[in-house]
A and B are shown apart, each in its own frame.
Chain A
């Protein structure tokens, strides 16, 4: 169930605390599965950000992914999520 199929991921605790922090109504809770699904979504979000920035750096023949590459891909990333 922890689905540690590969590599890094957010801790369940981190995800649920993050969400709880932003809930307007303090009575709002999350089911365990919802936390696990949300952590997958966050992992995809971060990986997409990194891969897109890397692709941008590659297209500019840069070996280092820097903040300007990330800035260029940010608007579309925000539209996609």
Chain B
């Protein structure tokens, strides 16, 4: 239990770190700064959102009778917004092209 908690905290810290890097890129672009609390809140939201993403991915894969999540499942996760769907589809096509 305790080990599980520590593992989760380490992952959370990794997410927090990357969110910090990404927000500082945005901050530079827009010429504003982000408070530490805001960065922490974005990190926490991202961490929680991952649960939803993971559940969806798993269900989409299972729906197709697969146990391995593939890029089609990721595209479905992005289905709600047309522009996001297009962006992710393009990325997936690039990835597949690189493998051939």
Contact = CB atoms under 8 A, between A and B. Distances in A.
| Interface SS, A side | helix
B74 A41 contact: yes
A25 B69 CA distance: 12
A11 to B, nearest CB: 7
Interface in A28-63: 28-31, 33-34, 36-38, 40-47, 49-51, 53-55, 57-58, 62-63
Determine the interface band of chain B, counting residues with CB < 8 A from chain A: 35 or more
Interface in A65-81: 65-67, 69-71, 74, 77-81
B33 A63 contact: yes
A42 B23 CA distance: 13
B52 to A, nearest CB: 8
B71 A45 contact: no
Nearest to A51: B26
Interface of B: 7-8, 11, 14-15, 18-19, 21-23, 25-27, 30, 32-35, 37-38, 41-42, 45-47, 49-51, 53-55, 57-58, 61-62, 67-71, 73-75, 77-78, 80-81, 84, 87-88, 91-92, 94-96, 98-99
14 contacts: A24-B55, A27-B67, A29-B67, A37-B75, A37-B88, A40-B88, A40-B91, A44-B87, A50-B34, A54-B27, A66-B38, A77-B45, A80-B84, A81-B84
Given A41-B88, A70-B38, 18 more contacts: A8-B21, A9-B22, A18-B47, A24-B55, A30-B68, A33-B71, A34-B57, A36-B91, A37-B71, A46-B18, A50-B22, A51-B26, A53-B42, A58-B32, A64-B32, A64-B34, A66-B35, A67-B35
